[in-house]
Structure 1
């Protein structure tokens, strides 16, 4: 029987983490290990984890979701688990979520994702996916399929074959947050591995909060989504053409911010421009405290 390890990345969400771990420990198909990557939490998470003898714990500085999953996937892969089940700390797995993933159609080495359902409305997906030929917004948009190809909400109940990791490596910790999961998914697809959602396997997750624009100062996170998008386009279109696609996309998206009727549209415009400029210069070193637009916002709102 294949061995399965859960990889959970957490940062300052102890109450959510407790619920997540509880849902993992109640799976109808028991996990062989639960590995928690604590990204330098300061809310009592480290103390709670120290008392959990059944968990494997790694504590590190806050390297964002990308750095957390890079550490977790590398550690579990080197421990020779066959499959890695990866998730953020604010996920809740249905009791049979893992069993349904394992019993879904065998398509060889791949990435299989649970269907992410909104915790606020169980008829709605937590993450909208809009494609040229089809949109996935409601649970019923997926449930008529055994597998939904090319759609997955990494890292929210994401089952990764060790053979995939052997070929494509681990997430790039330089990406920090927002977009690192899409980069990893498109990297797998680029190397020929199927990426699918399994509708029978359900994960519950808070709905994506960027659907109608993120209020400042929290909007600084969008910096990473814009900056990291170049890597996604390069996976999809190749390095040279991917750069051109990103340049066209980023100019359009940056200018669009000035046209939006939002309170902080000037900061959004500056943030998008800063992110696009840094991406083209291959500057992936910035952390939240060094994002210039965020520093300007905080200076102006002392």
Structure 2
């Protein structure tokens, strides 16, 4: 018997990638377990995306019918959430999780527009919900091979563990202290305790810190069940086996460095900040980005290095921002 999940909401963040979004929405129609809600956050606020989501909503209602709300009411499963400004992935997830929470969701399955869900994705996640409140399903890469994700975060340095083992043991899960919003799955209780994702990150490290915070209040795990696949080909440097260094943009490079300031502030708030060790992590992060420029993004060396430096400088400003406060819990 397929196990359902009480009020599971999918939260999708999209921006100017209607073709990828259409592919994801099409894959959702093949799910063996119907989601309670599907919240599509449109950071572009595009009429084209609005039409695409409206057509998808009609298909969903025809396939699964409307969804139950508190009392005897029925509403459309699909909720379109256009944003007045582009808040990046971080702002989109904060708005999307907030909307789903407001609607009454009890579980949140978050993802970008450049993935497709596996038919049994939600069904496979459901089997872990009686044991864990934060679950990261496994993914396939765009070429159909396994996608390795760095599930262990070295907190004192503020960097992913580059040598964490890739194989699962017989339990089918392993502990993690981070999260990836490309398929992260978490409960309402966790959101109530740690608050919404922090929109100030704009892009990068927002999901890492959300997973770090979640691991402070519950046991977070990655499971071996494959629940989705990536659909966008990204240039990369194959580092042997399933590990690789992917191409990125100068905008990402800037935020990779700048947002370490936010990361440090969260570590300070939870007693995990070690200045000298964290500084070593910042040096390692900058070195990794320079290696990425030399190995994968050689055409961006002249623009990329200034972005790394500027992000580093701005991260120092965040460390000394007297007005900064962490995201507040939704329930005390």
1:40 aligns with 2:44: yes
Relative to 1, partners in 2 of residues 1:77 and 1:254: Cα closer, same or farther, differing over 3 Å?
same
Comparing 233-242 with 3-12, greater Cα deviation is found at: 233-242
- What RMSD over aligned residues (CA atoms) do the two structures have, in Å? 3.1
Q: Residue 202 of structure 1 is aligned with which of 198, 206, 227?
A: 227
1:222 aligns with 2:246: no
Partner of 2:312: 276
Aligned-residue offset at 1:8: 0.8
1:25 aligns with 2:59: no
Alpha-carbon distance in 2 for matches of 1:201, 1:178: 24
Aligned-residue offset at 1:212: 3.8
Aligned-residue offset at 1:64: 0.5
**Quick check: 1:186–1:236 contact (8 Å CA) kept in 2?**
no
1:115 aligns with 2:138: yes
Partner of 1:193: 218
**Quick check: 2:178–2:208 contact (8 Å CA) kept in 1?**
no
Relative to 1, partners in 2 of residues 1:229 and 1:33: Cα closer, same or farther, differing over 3 Å?
same
Residues 156-204 of structure 1, C-alpha deviations (whole Å, 9 max, x = no match): 2221100000000011111001111111111112x33222112124210
Alpha-carbon distance in 1 for matches of 2:211, 2:18: 28
Alpha-carbon distance in 1 for matches of 2:144, 2:313: 38
Q: Residue 248 of structure 1 is aligned with which of 260, 276, 280?
A: 280
Relative to 1, partners in 2 of residues 1:171 and 1:104: Cα closer, same or farther, differing over 3 Å?
same
Alpha-carbon distance in 2 for matches of 1:199, 1:74: 28
The number of equivalent residue pairs is 276
Q: Provide structure 1 residue ranges, at least 5 long, that are not aligned to the other structure.
A: 284-302
Partner of 2:199: 173
Q: Provide structure 2 residue ranges, at least 5 long, that are not aligned to the other structure.
A: 61-77, 152-159, 237-243, 320-332
**Quick check: 2:22–2:52 contact (8 Å CA) kept in 1?**
no
Q: How do residues 1-302 of structure 1 correspond to structure 2 at under 5 angstroms? A: 2-42=6-46, 44-51=48-55, 52-53=57-58, 54=60, 55-60=78-83, 61-104=85-128, 106-108=130-132, 110-122=133-145, 124-125=146-147, 127=149, 131=161, 134-136=164-166, 141-142=167-168, 144-150=170-176, 154-189=180-215, 191-205=216-230, 206=232, 209=235, 211-212=244-245, 214=247, 218-236=249-267, 238=270, 241-254=273-286, 261=294, 263=298, 264-282=300-318
Secondary structure of 1:154's aligned partner: coil
Alpha-carbon distance in 1 for matches of 2:122, 2:289: 41
Residues 85-128 of structure 1, C-alpha deviations (whole Å, 9 max, x = no match): 111111111111111111126324x2111102112132x21545
Secondary structure of 1:134's aligned partner: coil
Partner of 1:297: none
Aligned-residue offset at 1:43: 7.9
TM normalised by structure 2 equals 0.72
